[in-house]
Structure 1
Amino acid sequence: MAWLYWLGDRLRLIAYSSDWKWNHFWDTIVSKKQLKKLPKFSSLFKSKLHQKVFCLIMVMIGVVGAAIVFKLFPEEGLFGIHHRHILWQWHYSMYVIIPLIVGWSFGMFFLWSEKWSDYFAEKITISPIIKATIWGIVLALLTLITSYALYSGEFQIVPFVHQALQISPLFLLVIAVIKTLSTNIGFSLGWRGGKIFPSIFASVAVGAAIAQFLPIMPVMCVAITVSASIAVILGKPLLTAILLILLLPIELAPVILVSAYLAACLTKVSYSFRQKNN
């Protein structure tokens, strides 16, 4: 990922700097002043529609490319086109609202945790290094409860999914809460990383917990829960669906897409209701 940012910065400089020379391409430092003078991504397009069409085409190229690579070199991993036989039954529709609401609620909890973590971190006036050190100690202590508190969600999702249904629902919820709090508080106190994979991991734990109480396929329950949760956290249902289609069985693509958009609609209704009451 760092290499992609590095390459993108240099391509922008080449395209919009009149005095750029190719022997500067391998310079390790790009000044912020240079980058601030360059146009923003949105200004490169004639309209919003032009920008959306371009992004959609690039995403489709990436999806097709990933599908070809994983088809040619099949292996069990986080990303790929996964296949699984799905037993479709009409009585499932009676229960899908439960993982949808639970996933949406957990997504709201994740955002609430993020907001209040930032709020309390700003109130602490000690050195950033001390903040990060203290949280490192706390994080080490949390591993005494579960090793899943660590920041390696993207590497732990696959083995976790295989054993999630053998873990008690209560402890799965404990794992989800610890993962959520450790992620958001840690970043608020100066740790660095991404929140997408930890949020997916925590959502999988919640989905696996409620799947043990519903008479539907566990993988479908998890898919609905995760789709709803991540759609709320990212605020972009289409991006959520594209990401999760590469993580979950491709046969569940319609379920993932519908769940993500329903959760996004539910979020809009919730926010508009709050604004009217305030």
Structure 2
Amino acid sequence: MTKRTVANNFLYYIFCGFSGAVTSLIVWLFLKLMGLGIGLVWDTIPSNFDFKFYPIIVCTAGGLILGIWQKLTNAVPDELDEVMKKVKKDKFYPYNKVLLLCISALLPLVFGGSLGPEAGLTGVIVGLCYWAGSHMKDAKSKIPELMQIGISATLSAVFYAPLFGLASVNEERLDSEEKPTDIRSTKLISNIIAVLFAAGTLFLLNSVFGGSMGLPRLGGYNITNFERLWGIPLALLGAVCGFLFIISSKIFGKFFALIQGKLGIIISTTLGGIILGVMGTYLPLAMFSGEESITVVKESFAEFAPWILIISGVLKLVLTNICIKSGWKGGHFFPVIFCGVSIGYGVAMLGGLDTAFCAAVVTAGLLGVTMKKPLAVTMLLLLCFDARVIPWILLAAFLGSIIPTKIFGSNKKKAK
């Protein structure tokens, strides 16, 4: 290795670290704006009056505004899987509407959508990474790697989970039919540097200016043989909930595609807003990303009937897909985690089981179905749950990942 090569690699790693820091700053600013918007719309304004059906009015208006915005700008954020597919296959991601995409990602979150911020943010960051790489002479050959670094850094900053940021990009889906991507040492090093700088920058910003430090932790474990006996059934329950998420995604995908084709995007997003508002009026836990709702469930679960928690979790799975498919584009990680926690707590209350253990296993099985990346699921849920349940989380995530693959795989073979 020549001195020039060493110097170029060093400069490249510095650029990766800088990219991670800038990504974290963008994520932090976006989340701050989101928090301010939500506070204004859902706390400040309604504090001046008491109106039961306020969510219906706000969500309907939000759907109308979102539809008009998308109609005028044609700036629609991609879902996270779509971003990752484009990065992997096309080696390109458009960056000409980055600012418009930021607004498109922000609007559904401010108006109470059952969505997470990771999808819209990832598309914005990846577009900026492509732009930066294409304007740097020595980095043009590494543009696909830079875009993957952008995804890792974004997920690390959004969830405050560097290990999840690494695993989500480098772990192959268990249902993937594509040839596994080789993980070179330089690529892994650049990913590690980026997520470390992202996490460090976010920690510094939150320490100085204040901000969220990721998902709340759920503790108080009392795992006995009774819980262990229920481990696999709980994982399968999570997988069933995952099936519900996938099926509802397909059903509402077709339904809203039909509406958008015949009546347009404005009608679609407005209808999505009406449904969101109605459900939010009677089941407030079903609204928003679910991050703060997890804290509510954790601290006040005894005040809820078990069936309320289970129904809230199940309906939020469906509502998340209604939001996404109707045009309220965003991520599903935060809502799905809340769904698993809420259902897990409800089942634990019905069966006299440890609440945190049930929540961990059900959530892992559910995420296993939606992500099909057991290691990434485990790294993500380490944010919420204790290391003592890691084996159960990994097992549930693996079962959730592999069972749908075998079922759908057998169906494909019969079709042939």
TM-score range, shorter chain: 0.7 to 0.9
Structure 2 partner of 1:48: 181
The percent identity for this pair of structures is 21
Q: 1:223 Cα shift?
A: 0.3
Q: Distance in 1 between matches of 2:353 and 2:211?
A: 25
Q: Distance in 2 between matches of 1:220 and 1:63?
A: 30
Which region of structure 1 is more displaced relative to structure 2, 158-167 or 204-213?
158-167
Structure 2 partner of 1:109: 244
1:154 aligned onto 2:291: yes
Structure 2 partner of 1:196: 333
Judged with a 3 Å threshold, the aligned counterparts in structure 2 of structure 1 residues 276 and 10 are, in CA distance, closer, same or farther, namely closer
Q: Distance in 2 between matches of 1:57 and 1:216?
A: 43
Check the 8 A contact 1:16/1:38 in 2, yes or no.
no
Check the 8 A contact 1:78/1:157 in 2, yes or no.
no
Q: Distance in 2 between matches of 1:249 and 1:216?
A: 17
Segments of structure 1 that go 5 or more residues without pairing to the other structure are 21-36
Which region of structure 1 is more displaced relative to structure 2, 111-120 or 144-153?
144-153
- 1:252-271 pair list within 5 angstroms: 252-271=389-408
1:182 aligned onto 2:319: yes
Structure 2 partner of 1:173: 310
Q: 1:233 Cα shift?
A: 0.7
Structure 2 partner of 1:12: 133
Q: Distance in 1 between matches of 2:370 and 2:295?
A: 21
Residue aligned with 1:226, SS: helix
1:222 aligned onto 2:365: no
Segments of structure 2 that go 5 or more residues without pairing to the other structure are 1-26, 28-120, 149-169, 171-179
Number of residue equivalences? 258
Structure 2 partner of 1:58: 191
Q: Distance in 2 between matches of 1:88 and 1:57?
A: 39
Q: What code does the residue aligned with 1:15 have? A: M
TM-score normalized by the length of structure 2: 0.53
1:92 aligned onto 2:213: no
Q: 1:105 Cα shift?
A: 0.2
Check the 8 A contact 1:81/1:247 in 2, yes or no.
yes
Q: Distance in 1 between matches of 2:131 and 2:323?
A: 32
Q: 1:120 Cα shift?
A: 0.9
Q: Distance in 1 between matches of 2:371 and 2:189?
A: 17
Q: 1:97 Cα shift?
A: 1.9
Check the 8 A contact 2:336/2:367 in 1, yes or no.
yes
Q: Deviations over 1:157-178 (max 9, x none)?
A: 2222222343222222221232
TM-score normalized by the length of structure 1: 0.76
Which region of structure 1 is more displaced relative to structure 2, 54-63 or 135-144?
54-63
Check the 8 A contact 2:276/2:319 in 1, yes or no.
yes
1:247 pairs, out of 384, 393, 396, with 384
Q: Distance in 1 between matches of 2:238 and 2:414?
A: 24
Q: Distance in 2 between matches of 1:210 and 1:52?
A: 44
Structure 1 partner of 2:254: 119
Q: 1:80 Cα shift?
A: 6.5
Judged with a 3 Å threshold, the aligned counterparts in structure 2 of structure 1 residues 56 and 173 are, in CA distance, closer, same or farther, namely farther
Check the 8 A contact 1:96/1:224 in 2, yes or no.
yes
Q: Distance in 1 between matches of 2:213 and 2:130?
A: 28
Structure 2 partner of 1:27: none
Structure number having the greater helix percentage? 2
Q: 1:118 Cα shift?
A: 0.5
Q: Distance in 2 between matches of 1:248 and 1:150?
A: 23
Q: Distance in 1 between matches of 2:301 and 2:195?
A: 30
Check the 8 A contact 1:245/1:256 in 2, yes or no.
no
Q: What code does the residue aligned with 2:370 have? A: I
Q: 1:49 Cα shift?
A: 2.5
Which region of structure 1 is more displaced relative to structure 2, 173-182 or 108-117?
173-182
Q: Distance in 1 between matches of 2:194 and 2:387?
A: 17
Q: What code does the residue aligned with 1:48 have? A: T
Which region of structure 1 is more displaced relative to structure 2, 257-266 or 216-225?
257-266
